[in-house]
Amino acid sequence: QVQLVESGGGSVQAGGSLRLSCVVSGFIASGDCMGWFRQAPGKQREGVAGIDRDGRTNYADSVKGRFTISRVNGKNTLYLQMNSLKPEDTGVYSCAAGGYSDCSGPSLSPPVYNYWGQGTQVTVAS
């Protein structure tokens, strides 16, 4: 059974940084797609960043140039480095894995992903 556990959330002032981690237990193929998503109160879940089998990345326009997604396959770990945080970045951040043996194209669409973590809260104060 695949489980994803996020850590690294917290409260920061605008302009600050946080690094989120997601550790995957169970089998995830090195060729799988993985991503980070967030959900603010009263809003739908949105894709923040995705990474595919070849390390290609995709970012929401709102975070381009500020967030960086990376993965360490040997450690089954996914990261999200968040810099220059803004109050509108506040939300519950969740990592996700597609569950595919070979995934090309880093998607930001939630239905593409079959395994989800519980999420970690990020709060950015103005």
pLDDT tens digits along 36-71:
999 998 999 999 999 998 899 999 999 999 999 999
Mean pLDDT of the chain: 94
Cα–Cα distance measured from residue 96 to residue 1, given in angstroms and rounded to the nearest whole number: 14
Report the pLDDT averaged over residues 106-119. 95
Cβ burial, residue 37 (10 Å; 0-12/13-18/19+) = buried
